[in-house]
Each structure stands twice: as structure tokens, then as C-alpha cells.
Amino acid sequence: MRRVALVTGGTRGLGRGIAIALHQDGLQVAAIYRGNEAAARTLQTETGIPVYAWDVSNYQACVEGISQVERDIGPIDVLVNNAGITRDSMFHRMTEQQWLEVMRTNLGSMFNMCRGVINGMRERLYGRIINISSINGRKGQVGQANYAASKAGVIGFTRSLALESAGKGITVNAVAPGYCETDMVGAVPADLLKTIVAGIPMGRLGQPQDVSRLVSLLVSEQAGFITGATFDVNGGQWMP
């Protein structure tokens, strides 16, 4: 029986790449999106991956959405928490709304989504949870106190949930991508982007497949002894 995978933020950028890679690996994949209807329909038309719209920062929406996916497709074996937003600002000008929006989406969604699938995984004694962090959650970034804090929190959350879940056959890992060719990075001003690329030892931005290949490995049966780890995919830009 095919494993069922759910990917948040799964219709664009890194999430789209991850959803397609898992689909090609033979999993039954569902992709969650929030607002870009055109991108969602394009993914569904091109790949056959079903798409679902809900706000991962809203707990009740996650409860209802997960229940719908499980009714349509089956119990969720694999969860990839990829959804994330930025609301950049120097901290001395940052508003409470900018802080809270990022925290609720990037970190609050970890609770909302994992809480909705963890009991089923524990009952079935199997699960794979991959949480997407960021290079800026590792090293910080000017103008991103909210984003960096949320993505650093993802790593602490991952380690704690991994410890709690290991005895139930569930692995929980984090991936911290560097700067990749996505819509989010594409919004960076050209002169700043040039500076960023100059600081990457490999001399290029990452591609979605650079991340999706690692996620495929962590989701696979061969990765059953890997848990609580954070994997950096950043072309050498930051090394712990």
C-alpha cells in the first residue's frame, strides 16, 4: 500500500519540488496551499497531485484539513512542514503584526500540523516528519529577527519531538536550506541578491531539487535510524 505524504506550502518553490519528488518516489502526495490558486491548479494538472487550501497558522483549519485529506486519501504517514512567510523589517521598526504573522505561520504551524497527525503515527508505529528550517535560523539575518527566530524554533521543536517519538517508529528531522531559486528569494533586490550569491562558496543559488533529494532520502525506509538531526543545504555558505 502506498504511503501517504502531506506537504505544506506544496504548490510553489521548494514545496512544489518536494511534492513532485515524493510523487515520483511512489508516494501518494497531497499538497497544501493558502492563496495562489493558479499555481495550485497548475501543479494538480501537470502531476495529478491533489491540492487542498487552508491556513496552516490556524489550528482548527489544520484539524479539519487533515481530516479531509485522510478521508480522501488515507492516513498520513509522511508530513513535510514547508510553509513559511517573511515580513522583513529592522527590529526597531518591526510591528507586532509582522512578528506574530511570521511566528504563527512558520512556527505555530509546526504545532498545528504535527498535532493533527502524531497520534495516528504513534498508533501505527510509523511516521516521517520533515520540518523545513532555514540558514537564517542557524546564523541570523539583518531585518529578519522574526523569521530567524521562527526558523531557529523549528530546530528546537524538531529535536524535542524526535526524542518523544523515536520509540514509536517515528523519525523527525529538519532541513535548513540556504538561498534557493524560489519566489521568496526572487523578491530580493538584484544588488542584494548579487551580494548573497558572492557569499556562497559554490557560487550559485540552490535549486529546489537540491532540497527535495534530501527530503526523499529522509522519508525513505532506508532512513529509519536518522532522527533529531538538522541538515544544512546551503552550498557552504554557513557551516556549524
Is 52 designated active site?
no
Instruction: Given the residues 33, 126, 147, 179, select the one marked as catalytic.
Output: 147
Angle (CA) 69-113-116 rounded to 5° is: 65
Question: Is 128 in a helix, a strand, or coil?
Answer: strand
Distance of alpha carbon 189 from alpha carbon 91, whole angstroms: 20
Q: Quick one: which H or E segment has residue 216?
A: helix 208-219
Half-sphere exposure (Cβ direction) of 201: Cα atoms closer than 13 Å: 7
Those residues whose C-beta lies under 8 Å from the C-beta of residue 133, and which sit 6 or more positions away, are 151, 152, 154, 155, 158, 174, 175, 176, 230
Cβ-Cβ contacts under 8 Å for 62 (sequence gap 6 or more): 54, 56, 109, 112, 113, 115, 116
Q: What is the dihedral of CA 49, 50, 55, 61, to 10 degrees?
A: -140
Nearest one of 167, 163, 162, 180 to 218, comparing CA atoms? 162
Q: Please give the positions annotated as active site.
A: 147
